[in-house]
């Protein structure tokens, strides 16, 4: 409930706002929106772009080099000018957005992303140096104005360096470029970067500012003298595009605001409700003219009339501002109480503790870069030493702001806080303070399974015994999550980098940021696809339904990864073609040579029948037909020799999906929003 005083303020504010719109002229024509997090109903996603936890990814999130291009466009066109006016009127605009360019392999960079304005809403170009803006076969097809953030030198477009910002019109040969390193900004740092793009149609100048903070610098990085009147005519769409070519570079847009002002912003009344988060001052009523007169008495009347209008108007404006502040204050209070209420539920369980921010900051030496032991989509992980208890821990720090990352943070906090299993990473505590979202975990001395398999420390390779323990431990954890918890937990992001190894090389499943709770007797939840390519079940990619069987598929891929020492998708050295691990192992199985898939680094030091069993269980779990996959309890029984492994078809099954089972927009958005 809203407190009575706040309710009165809100009601009064709405009444004043209604009367002001209906009874007077709107002094400034404007169009604006502000998204702290993205929602699917407001945007069109093209190509390889995707939406995950309120953040837009423009290119594929994969661990092997690939070529990819994606675009996200705001659904509604923006009326930059009235085509019926002579000459056409113009408009100024400003936009602020936060983006990041990360990489799982720092040596594999390119190509970058761009903010653009275009006449059409189907802008999707080619991957590589074309930045998803230009079609390689039809270079003049797409018409646009763009600011590019380029991370690779492409001599074809005259790029000055592998770290530059450029301004483009209808071509990727930039009109003008600038080096962000001059202001200490590396586009490929993986950190969140805030950009401001501002165009003044009167001064005919476009400025670009960059910063690692939310404070806009005083001096622009790039300033271009340009008249965009011919480019911004009529309705214009705005959005972002990004691309890679033979790279694992990740391009993400975290937040976005846009504002347009000026004579060109002639918004007309709409018959439908305005889109979410959009301010639409669409009613323009001309003020009546007062006839002029030389008479002194009439001048006094004019003065009195002016004061009579200005006085109440000023008073109403003050009340509107007061009402607006009251509403915002109530919203912040409600958001704070919601977060507090949820975290209090966690504390009530008596398990994880609430850490003091100063304590966590001190334990990580002020979140010093030398303490970083891992990076992910959520943020960085720091090694922490708490002097008061002598505890060494891992602190997971959100890269999002308090509001942006709150949903994922609370998901992980509320789910894992109520779980207890020897093969789950233990949550020690949490901290929500100073705008930070922090989770404190027990430290895993041997890091992730991914690093142990593919980047072994000091040349040490996991032994067969250690690998078998990892397989059994992970199966035990998933059996607990799927069938032994009060509410079933669907993890949705099982992969080797989310499996940690403790001091004895036992598997500990972590990272519950994408997990979902379900009642055991309920139908699967329809969601936007989340996770990592190579580990995702085919039906999950197609329908977006996360079930325990989609977790089983991901486990099967991890099991094959453990046995073979190969990534889910790898580039073949000889042919340079991409090889899918499940396809490769199934092919060897069909030829009766499945044990040949074993990791060569083991040098044959394993039990042949046990290796064969692990590979067969992995294939059973990674069966394209979800109905044929075993439960995790059955998997555990097979690995422990309690039941026989089911015989598989010699060739990998193929599936045909029915278009009649597609999800509605409401189904897709129900979970992510």
Tokens found for residue 610: 């046990």
Q: Are strands 391-398 and 436-442 parallel, antiparallel or unpaired?
A: antiparallel
**Cis bond upstream, residue 382 (ω within 30):** no
**Backbone φ, ψ for residue 188 (5° rounding):** -95, 15
* Residues in contact with 21: Cβ distance below 8 Å, sequence separation at least 6, in sequence order: 281, 283
CA 145 to each of CA 118, 195, 236, 415: distance values in angstroms, whole numbers, following the listed order: 7, 16, 10, 45
| First-to-last C-alpha distance (Å) of the chain | 22
Dihedral angle of Cα 577, 581, 582, 584, to the nearest 10 degrees: 60
Judge whether 561 and 496 are in contact, CB under 8 Å. yes
Q: Are strands 222-225 and 92-103 parallel, antiparallel or unpaired?
A: unpaired
Task: Give the C-alpha separation, 99 to 187, whole Å.
Answer: 9
**Cis bond upstream, residue 87 (ω within 30):** yes
Judge whether 65 and 248 are in contact, CB under 8 Å. yes
Alpha helices, H only, 295-385: 296-348, 357-363
Distance, CA of 590 to chain centre: 40
Tallying the residues shown for the chain, one arrives at 673
Of 48, 450, 493, 502, which one is the catalytic site residue?
493
DSSP string, 223-290: EEE---TTTS-SEEEEEEEEEEEEE-EEEEEEEEEEEEESTT--PPP-SSPPPTTEEE-----PPPPP
Judge whether 63 and 248 are in contact, CB under 8 Å. yes
Owner of token pair 């085509």: 83
493 noted as active-site residue: yes
* Residues in contact with 81: Cβ distance below 8 Å, sequence separation at least 6, in sequence order: 88, 89, 90, 91, 229, 232, 233, 234, 264, 266
Judge residue 543's burial from the number of C-beta atoms within 10 Å of its C-beta, 0-12 exposed, 13-18 middle, 19 or more buried.
Answer: buried
CB atoms within 10 A of CB 72: 23
User: Would the annotation count 353 as a binding residue?
Assistant: no
Q: Smallest Cα–Cα separation from 402: which of 258, 622, 162, 214?
A: 214
| Secondary structure (3-state) at 155 | helix
CB atoms within 10 A of CB 141: 12
Tokens found for residue 331: 């919203």
Binding site for ATP, by residue number, is: 396
Catalytic residues: 493
Which amino acids are annotated as binding site, given as ranges? 396
């Amino acid at each position: 409930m809203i407190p009575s005083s706040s309710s009165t303020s809100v009601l009064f504010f709405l009444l004043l706002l209604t009367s002001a719109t209906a009874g007077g002229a709107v002094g400034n024509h404007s169009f604006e929106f502000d998204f702290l997090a993205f929602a699917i109903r407001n945007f069109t996603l093209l190509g390889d772009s995707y939406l995950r936890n309120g953040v837009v990814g423009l290119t594929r999130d994969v661990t092997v080099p690939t070529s990819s291009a994606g675009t996200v466009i705001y659904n509604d066109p923006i009326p930059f000018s009235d085509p019926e006016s002579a000459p056409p009127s113009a408009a100024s605009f400003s936009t602020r957005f936060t983006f990041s360019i990360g990489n799982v392999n720092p040596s594999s960079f390119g190509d970058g992303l761009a903010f653009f304005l275009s006449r059409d809403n189907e802008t999707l170009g080619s991957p590589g140096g074309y930045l998803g803006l230009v079609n390689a076969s039809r270079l003049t097809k797409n018409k646009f104005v763009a600011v590019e953030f380029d991370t690779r030198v492409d001599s074809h477009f005259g790029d000055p360096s592998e770290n530059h910002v450029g301004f483009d019109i209808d071509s990727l040969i930039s009109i003008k470029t600038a080096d962000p390193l001059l202001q200490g900004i590396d586009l490929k740092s993986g950190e969140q970067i805030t950009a401001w793009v501002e165009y003044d149609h009167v001064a005919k100048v476009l400025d670009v500012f960059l910063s690692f903070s939310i404070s806009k610098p005083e001096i622009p990085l790039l300033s271009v003298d340009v008249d965009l009147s011919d480019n911004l005519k009529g309705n214009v769409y705005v959005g972002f595009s990004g691309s890679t070519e033979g790279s694992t570079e990740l391009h993400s847009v975290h937040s976005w605001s846009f504002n347009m002002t000026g004579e060109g912003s002639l918004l007309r009344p709409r018959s439908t409700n305005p889109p979410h988060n959009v301010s639409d001052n669409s009613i323009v009523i001309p003020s009546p003219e007062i006839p002029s007169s030389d008479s002194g008495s009439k001048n006094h009347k004019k003065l009195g009339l002016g004061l009579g209008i200005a006085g109440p108007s000023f008073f109403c404006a003050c009340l509107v501002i007061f009402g607006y502040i009251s509403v915002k204050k109530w919203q912040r209070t409600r958001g704070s109480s919601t977060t507090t209420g949820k975290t209090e539920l966690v504390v009530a369980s008596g398990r994880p503790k609430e850490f003091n921010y100063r304590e966590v900051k001190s334990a990580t030496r002020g979140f010093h870069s030398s303490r970083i032991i891992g990076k992910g989509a959520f943020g960085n992980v720091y090694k922490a030493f708490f002097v008061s208890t002598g505890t060494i821990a891992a602190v997971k720090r959100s890269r999002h702001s308090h509001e942006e990352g709150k949903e994922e943070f609370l998901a992980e906090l509320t789910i894992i806080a109520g779980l207890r299993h020897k093969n789950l990473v233990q949550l020690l505590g949490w901290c929500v303070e100073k705008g930070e979202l922090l989770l404190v975990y027990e430290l895993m001395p041997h890091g992730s399974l991914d690093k142990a398999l593919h980047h072994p420390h000091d040349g040490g390779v996991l032994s067969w015994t250690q690998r078998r323990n990892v397989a059994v431990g992970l199966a035990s954890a998933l059996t607990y999550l799927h069938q032994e918890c009060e509410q079933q937990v669907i993890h949705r992001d099982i992969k080797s980098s989310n499996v940690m190894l403790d001091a004895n090389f036992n598997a500990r499943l972590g990272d519950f940021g994408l997990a979902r709770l379900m009642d055991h007797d309920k139908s699967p939840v329809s969601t936007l696809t989340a996770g990592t390519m190579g580990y995702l079940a085919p039906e999950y990619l197609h329908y977006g339904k996360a079930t325990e069987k989609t977790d089983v598929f991901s486990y099967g891929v991890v099991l094959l990864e453990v046995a073979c020492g190969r990534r889910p998708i790898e580039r073949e050295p000889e042919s340079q073609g991409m090889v899918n691990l499940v396809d490769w192992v199934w092919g060897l199985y069909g030829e009766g040579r499945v044990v040949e898939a074993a990791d060569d680094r083991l040098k044959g030091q394993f039990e042949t029948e046990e290796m064969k069993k692990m590979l067969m269980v992995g294939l059973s779990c990674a069966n394209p037909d979800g109905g044929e996959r075993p439960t995790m309890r059955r998997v555990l029984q097979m690995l422990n020799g309690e039941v026989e492994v089911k015989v598989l078809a010699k060739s990998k099954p193929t599936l045909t999906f029915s278009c009649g089972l597609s999800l509605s927009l409401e189904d897709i958005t129900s979970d992510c929003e």
